[in-house]
Structure 1
Amino acid sequence: MRLTARQLFPILLFIAILLMTIRPIADPDFWWHLRTGEWMVASHAVPHADPFSFTNLGKTWTAHEWLSELVIYGLYRLGGLPLLILTFALVITAAFWLVYRRSPGRPYFAGFALLLGVLAAAPAWGVRPQMLSLLLTSLFLFLLDRYSETRSLKWIIPLPFLTALWVNLHAGFALGLGIAAVYLGSDFLEWIGSLVSPSGKKRNLRDLLPLAAVLAACGLAVLANPNGARMYVYPFETLFSSAMQAYIQEWFSPDFHRPEWQPLAWMFLALIGLAIFARRHRIPLAHILLTLFFGYMSLRSMRHVPLFVLAAVPVLAALAEGAAGAAREALKTATGSPVQKAPPLPGWVNVLLILFALLAAGGRFASVVSSQPEVERETFPAAAVDWILANQPDGNIYNTYSWGGYLTWRLRDYPVFIDGRADLYGDAFIESFLDIYRARPGWQEALADNGVNLALVEPGSAIGDALAVSPEWELVFSDENSLLFVRR
């Protein structure tokens, strides 16, 4: 097997990306997704009312990720947490492979732009339905790019069918409609431009009809879900929830003082710098519009950073290739001859490098799987839950927001106070939960009104400190990350 460096580079790049995407499960929402999948298998139904909390039991619930949750539970049944970790690592890697295929300047400019994007998006990865939405977003972009380049209908005919799948996996399906609309709008603007340009090629307005028809079909395909027409408005309710924007971390803006967000800052700087200094390089209007929009959204919310990466990497690669073109011309002028291509590497070198990369990925996977129990103990109140299961105290439980999903999975006989389904609980309830969590006046009465006899909270929290000094409560268990109180 004799490969040139250009051929070997993408292989090693994507093994490296796969290695980076393999990580332990620490997402607090994972556990209620897993529990929901189990509930559906047992009930042979999609939930339309809350079955897991005592505070909102029976309240209408739009389970927009129901198919993702069945997938998660099915994979768990087949291979446990290791299979889930590997599968979602492959899903994320596939999403970035499609980005690479869309990018000019392959392999090196596209590869290094992608690597920067991968590092920028890394904080958002996990075993979560959003990763399936990320893959479908990337696939939509890939298909629409191919259609824009070839005008062949074969690239956009799958979009309505993908929309029907997507709407059952995650509410991010709205991104697909929006992205298709941006491509259609870009075509319209270019048609307008062709009318006023004296020398440009005239475009026919009828050329817009195929994509417009497919976009309309995508809109109708949204109805192919168990929640019906409600899915037309659901994504926007979530997007404009004031409590979610104010209190849920992934909706916060990236903190550029933290090291994990530095690659995102570098990506913005690279885009700006190359846009200034690169020689002229035509970038599709749709790419520019999507990069600007998702760039703005990524500055508003960490949740949107991966979407910015999907849009911006091809633009960054194009700008880098344009900047390098001048350097190549200068080198050719200085030497009087074009740059020589590197010869193929010896076969044994190729095999050795690929084997080493695969061994590194395998070692990473084994390490992550072996560390999962420890990550669970450090991230969630595993020991406190063990105590509850062993002692079976009576009563409703007040719990920390980020632990509700874990309790839903492990404490089957204890409905939770709250979990990560913020859309179900609503802004008013989240505010009342936080009043208790911050031990504001009336917290004792609020717990009593909800029949709470157990409280599982973090050390150092305001409610934990208040419960510790209250004569009505007794601390029955504590460790490094949890306090468990029982009403006397």
Structure 2
Amino acid sequence: MKQIPESNDASPAAATSLRALFRWPIPLALIWLLAPVVGLSLRLALAPITPHDYWWSLAMGNLIASGAGIPHENLFLYTMPADAPFFNQPWLSQLMMAKLLDNFGHAGLLILRNITTVLTTTALLGLALWRVREPRIVGGLALLAVAAGAPVFAVRTQMFAFLPFMLLLGVLFGVADRRLSRRWLLLLIPLTALWGNLHGTFILVPILVGLCGGALVVQEWLETRRMPMREALVWGGTSVMTALAALLNPQGVGIYTYVHQLTVVSPVSQSVSEWQPPDISEPYGLLVFLVLVVGLSLLARDRKNLKLYEVALFAATTYLAFGSIRHMFWWAAMMMLVLPGPLSRALKLDDWRESATTGAQGALHMVLAVVMVGGLVLSQPGLPVHQTGVELLSGATRRAGPGKGMIDTDTPTQIMEGMLRDGYPGRIFHSQSVGGYLAYALATPVPRQVAFVDQRMEMIPESLWEVYFEIAGAKDGWQEVLDGYGVRTLLLSPGEQSGLIRAAQADPDWVLVAVDEGHLLFFRADQRDHLIRWR
């Protein structure tokens, strides 16, 4: 393995390369870099907000904003004691989301997600160019990276973790490559303190710092046969201090219990698709598998030039990604910083600055860049391209009712209008995806138990999930189970509960009351007053 260079010469050279992208005539290399940023951001700009985690975060944010403090009890599920404890870790993200909704509506949260996406992908490209000054390589890899990491860019609390992760990568690689002094590691301590109140992925900081520093210490020992004690103390101390910084949250040490329960103890990893490993029988799973195979082949071919810390960080994020789709972005981002060097050495491309660009070509590239950036800007909510694009490309977006053009059809906003206006009988059995929506619409800012299950996978016991899926599949005895819970209303999703919908339609004890773009509402046939009111 090559020893880490001492000089910082790459930084001025990188700046020179970056300036060359904007000199006349505009080179094609600029388009290579714009394509992944605009492509991902434009697609997301035209995608609706899905209910999973979104409404739950807003329900929590509303409670916190009302002055009730950070909730640490069940409150919303009638299937569990109201005082059943749970740990609400991303409280600060939830509060910010609720405030944004109050002031700017759903459009404000969509725009925030879109801005975060642009800044994250731009920062990732910048970090990659910092290490390898070849925009064609970086841009091409970025297209694969954004395709692999795209599923996590939803409007949810996780979006507040992307920019902190970019800062973490910048410090780790900058210090490890000796482009930054070790003092920059101190920045990770307040970063972790903030991140620990935004999203559970704060745990990446002490883990990756420890892996990176450990790899650097081992590498120096292998090369010199001397233990670099100062290096070990700096990196080890930073890892410990960042781990302690995460305790600066309103519930203290419980934050680590929460992470352990969510990732190890909870049945979430067996019951939720985004916590599953990628399935190579599906197009998405096959794509990321092929990218991994090619990446590993490049690393093996270029092993003499690899640094041990690159291998350690790439291996750690690969382990996360191929254990759960939810962690795919962390691996995709790491791939952008580790693979460009081996790929560049494998392809042996001529320096892109030496390729002559004519004035006509430069004009064409400039027009293309303006169209791409302009299309991205005009695709934001409230602007013409957004409305047209949603109608043409996104069949899952609501076409009527509250949230039209911005909310996924999995959120039954029209049915909810009727439930708030005309009421509903008994308790509700519903699709899991709208558990948080029921809490938001029916039980905030004054909490009450309105939902069967919701998004708190780590709190809900496996036995309750088994009951939920038995009812959703209309297994024998489903009517008696619902009676036992006092359920007189069914709010069902054809995508998740088709078996129960068929059973309810065939059962004279249930009456179809309303149909939304993505849900069906049933009342018990003996609830005459409510049936008359709805009819």
Class of the TM-score when normalised by the shorter of the 2 chains: 0.7 to 0.9
CA deviations on 1:7-31 (whole Å, 9 max, x unpaired) are: 7347634344432442321242101
Pairing 1:410–2:410 present: no
Supply the distance in 2 between the matched residues of 1:10 and 1:37 (Cα, whole angstroms).
40
Aligned residues with identical type, % of pairs: 25
What residue is the counterpart of 1:199 in the other structure?
none
Supply the distance in 2 between the matched residues of 1:281 and 1:408 (Cα, whole angstroms).
56
Supply the distance in 2 between the matched residues of 1:352 and 1:281 (Cα, whole angstroms).
43
Supply the distance in 2 between the matched residues of 1:298 and 1:377 (Cα, whole angstroms).
26
Shift of 1:387: 3.1
Is the 1:398–1:417 Cα contact (8 Å) retained in structure 2?
yes
Pairing 1:353–2:368 present: yes
Shift of 1:364: 2.7
Pairing 1:456–2:491 present: yes
Pairing 1:76–2:101 present: yes
Note closer, same or farther for the CA distance 1:100–1:2 as it changes in structure 2 (3 Å cut).
closer
What residue is the counterpart of 1:148 in the other structure?
176
Quick one: which of 56, 72, 90 aligns to 1:48? 72
Is the 1:387–1:477 Cα contact (8 Å) retained in structure 2?
no
Supply the distance in 1 between the matched residues of 2:476 and 2:51 (Cα, whole angstroms).
32
Is the 1:241–1:427 Cα contact (8 Å) retained in structure 2?
no
Quick one: which of 186, 191, 213 aligns to 1:162? 191
Quick one: which of 455, 462, 467 aligns to 2:504? 467
Amino acid at match of 2:23: R
CA deviations on 1:159-186 (whole Å, 9 max, x unpaired) are: 1101110110111111111111111221
Pairing 1:363–2:378 present: yes
Pairing 1:383–2:414 present: yes
Shift of 1:369: 5.9
Shift of 1:255: 2.8
Is the 2:266–2:458 Cα contact (8 Å) retained in structure 1?
no
Q: Secondary structure at the match of 2:267?
A: helix
Supply the distance in 1 between the matched residues of 2:276 and 2:408 (Cα, whole angstroms).
26
What residue is the counterpart of 2:142 in the other structure?
114
Quick one: which of 188, 194, 197 aligns to 2:223? 194
Is the 2:32–2:140 Cα contact (8 Å) retained in structure 1?
no
Pairing 1:63–2:98 present: no
Instruction: Between 85-94 and 394-403, report the one with greater CA deviation.
Output: 85-94
Pairing 1:12–2:29 present: no
Instruction: Between 436-445 and 134-143, report the one with greater CA deviation.
Output: 436-445
Supply the distance in 2 between the matched residues of 1:344 and 1:38 (Cα, whole angstroms).
57
Is the 2:295–2:339 Cα contact (8 Å) retained in structure 1?
yes
CA deviations on 1:60-98 (whole Å, 9 max, x unpaired) are: 121111101111112222321122112112223323333
What residue is the counterpart of 1:335 in the other structure?
none
Supply the distance in 1 between the matched residues of 2:65 and 2:280 (Cα, whole angstroms).
43
Note closer, same or farther for the CA distance 1:287–1:27 as it changes in structure 2 (3 Å cut).
farther
Is the 2:76–2:439 Cα contact (8 Å) retained in structure 1?
yes
CA deviations on 1:84-134 (whole Å, 9 max, x unpaired) are: 112112223323333323323332211211121011111222111112223
Is the 1:95–1:139 Cα contact (8 Å) retained in structure 2?
no
Quick one: which of 138, 144, 157 aligns to 1:129? 157
Note closer, same or farther for the CA distance 1:203–1:368 as it changes in structure 2 (3 Å cut).
farther
Amino acid at match of 1:388: M
What residue is the counterpart of 1:333 in the other structure?
none
What residue is the counterpart of 1:340 in the other structure?
354
Shift of 1:292: 2.1
Pairing 1:478–2:492 present: no
Is the 2:33–2:139 Cα contact (8 Å) retained in structure 1?
no
Pairing 1:102–2:127 present: yes
What residue is the counterpart of 2:263 in the other structure?
239
Is the 1:2–1:344 Cα contact (8 Å) retained in structure 2?
no
Supply the distance in 2 between the matched residues of 1:101 and 1:437 (Cα, whole angstroms).
48
Supply the distance in 1 between the matched residues of 2:201 and 2:175 (Cα, whole angstroms).
22
Supply the distance in 2 between the matched residues of 1:211 and 1:10 (Cα, whole angstroms).
36
Is the 1:5–1:344 Cα contact (8 Å) retained in structure 2?
no
Structure 1: runs of 5+ lacking an equivalent = 197-201, 330-337
Supply the distance in 1 between the matched residues of 2:56 and 2:252 (Cα, whole angstroms).
23
Note closer, same or farther for the CA distance 1:305–1:452 as it changes in structure 2 (3 Å cut).
same
Counterparts of 1:181-220 in structure 2, within 5 Å, are 181-196=210-225, 204-220=228-244
Q: Secondary structure at the match of 1:253?
A: coil
TM-score by length of 1: 0.88
Pairing 1:92–2:92 present: no
What residue is the counterpart of 1:427 in the other structure?
462
Q: Secondary structure at the match of 1:455?
A: strand
What residue is the counterpart of 1:437 in the other structure?
472
Shift of 1:37: 0.9
What residue is the counterpart of 2:325 in the other structure?
302
Supply the distance in 2 between the matched residues of 1:268 and 1:229 (Cα, whole angstroms).
36
Supply the distance in 2 between the matched residues of 1:129 and 1:339 (Cα, whole angstroms).
41
Shift of 1:290: 2.3
Shift of 1:315: 2.0
Amino acid at match of 1:304: H
Shift of 1:40: 1.0
Amino acid at match of 1:45: G
Supply the distance in 1 between the matched residues of 2:44 and 2:508 (Cα, whole angstroms).
48
CA deviations on 1:193-216 (whole Å, 9 max, x unpaired) are: 1244xxxxx663222222222222
Aligned-CA RMSD value: 2.8
Supply the distance in 1 between the matched residues of 2:234 and 2:353 (Cα, whole angstroms).
43
Is the 2:212–2:312 Cα contact (8 Å) retained in structure 1?
no
What residue is the counterpart of 1:392 in the other structure?
423
Supply the distance in 2 between the matched residues of 1:228 and 1:189 (Cα, whole angstroms).
33
Note closer, same or farther for the CA distance 1:15–1:438 as it changes in structure 2 (3 Å cut).
closer
CA deviations on 1:138-177 (whole Å, 9 max, x unpaired) are: 3212111111122613321111101110110111111111
Supply the distance in 2 between the matched residues of 1:369 and 1:29 (Cα, whole angstroms).
25
Instruction: Between 18-27 and 398-407, report the one with greater CA deviation.
Output: 18-27
Pairing 1:2–2:20 present: no
Counterparts of 1:222-233 in structure 2, within 5 Å, are 222-233=246-257
Shift of 1:345: 5.5
Note closer, same or farther for the CA distance 1:77–1:345 as it changes in structure 2 (3 Å cut).
farther
Instruction: Between 25-34 and 426-435, report the one with greater CA deviation.
Output: 426-435
Amino acid at match of 2:154: G
Note closer, same or farther for the CA distance 1:212–1:414 as it changes in structure 2 (3 Å cut).
closer
Supply the distance in 2 between the matched residues of 1:416 and 1:10 (Cα, whole angstroms).
48
CA deviations on 1:288-336 (whole Å, 9 max, x unpaired) are: 22222322332222111111101112222112111123x659xxxxxxx
TM-score by length of 2: 0.81
